[in-house]
Amino acid sequence: MTTQTGLPTMHETTYGIGGKHIFVAETGDGPAVLLLHGGGPGASGVANYSRNIAELAKEYRVIVPDLPGYGRSTKGVDGADPFGYLADLIRGLLDQLGLEKAHFVGNSYGGAAALRLALDTPDRVDRMVLMGPGGIGTTRALPTPGLNSLLNYYKGEGPSRLKLEKFIRTYLVFNAADVPDSIIDARYRDSIDPEVIADPPLRRPSGPNALRTLWKMDFTRDERLSRLPVPTLVLWGAADKVNRPSGGRMLAERMPNCDLYEVANTGHWVQFERAELFNRLCADFLAGRR
């Protein structure tokens, strides 16, 4: 059964993990796959994967959490080690779900969370698909204009619909017309939650330990990357203005079981912009058909 939005009917649960509340929607049967969303203002799980859930649910048990700091989950993230914090909570979610291991699909911020979880506990990850993940070569070059736009959203005069629209239409996607106003409106409403404004989940590291945090957030500085056994498919938009496409080649050169697919005429949101291609590649890779 599908709803008017084209999404299948999803079972919704809120789990208590480490004193935090993590909202999860799920549907489908089969091997478990967790879809971890990106970290842009107003992001959430089901909305970010709205063009993928129904197709993947034909073959998989699709589990879509709102990451800490977003959607209906507890707000706030540990700024000293944000990727580690996310990985710990998602690992706790696996425990709550009774899953020894699962497939992971992660876009941007969610890709960084999946990769950190895999590095810390590779036995909990079956196969992994990463789309323009964060934390790749971030200490080796200045931030992109797109990343600056994202990180500055809550600064200066504060959040506004105009700032969010500029980020999405100018930096997030290749074709601005592909994003309907309704998506921007919904994300703007979520981005101005008072709890989020008071404690944005994605920000530049600061304070005396900022350099240590930055180093920890760049996976190309982690020696474990070259030993990670998890089969991984990296999808990267060739026109990504948030995370540089060169990050895909960095991963392919360092990871022993990494396939790289660079997607032409596509920005940072591969699963949305090229949904049909993404759904086919993702389903086949997770099943071991390619």
**pLDDT tens string 47-88:** 999 999 999 999 999 999 999 999 999 998 888 899 999 999
- ∠ CA 74-272-159 to the nearest 5 degrees? 50
pLDDT-derived band at 210, boundaries 50, 70, 90:
confident
Average pLDDT (238-247) is: 97
CB of 42 within 8 A of CB of 190? yes
CB of 104 within 8 A of CB of 71? no
Q: Which of 114-123, 171-180, 209-218 has the lowest mean pLDDT?
A: 209-218
Q: What percent of the chain has pLDDT above 90?
A: 87
Which of 271, 131, 239 lies closest to 175, judged by CA? 239
Which of 261, 266, 254 lies closest to 218, judged by CA? 254
pLDDT-derived band at 203, boundaries 50, 70, 90:
confident
CB of 124 within 8 A of CB of 145? no
Joined together, the tokens standing for residue 29 give 């049967």
Q: In this predicted model, what pLDDT tens digit does every residue of 23-51 receive, in sequence order? A: 999 999 999 999 999 999 999 999 999 99
For residue 76, the model assigns a pLDDT of 87
Average pLDDT (104-124) is: 98
Average pLDDT (103-107) is: 98
Residue type, 16: G
Average pLDDT (84-96) is: 96
What is the full DSSP assignment across 91-102?
A: HHHHHHHT-S-E
For residue 125, the model assigns a pLDDT of 98
For residue 105, the model assigns a pLDDT of 98
pLDDT mean across residues, the chain? 94
Average pLDDT (263-278) is: 98
SS3 140: coil
For residue 73, the model assigns a pLDDT of 96
d(Cα 245, Cα 215) in Å, to the nearest integer? 20
Would residue 268 show up in a list of annotated catalytic residues for this protein?
yes
pLDDT-derived band at 204, boundaries 50, 70, 90:
confident
CB of 232 within 8 A of CB of 281? no
- Annotated active-site residue in 21, 37, 103, 268: 268
For residue 233, the model assigns a pLDDT of 98
Q: Whole-model pTM?
A: 0.96
pLDDT-derived band at 3, boundaries 50, 70, 90:
low
Asked if the model's pLDDT at residue 5 lies above 70, the reply is no
Asked if the model's pLDDT at residue 4 lies above 50, the reply is no
- DSSP bridge partners of 13: 24
For residue 114, the model assigns a pLDDT of 98
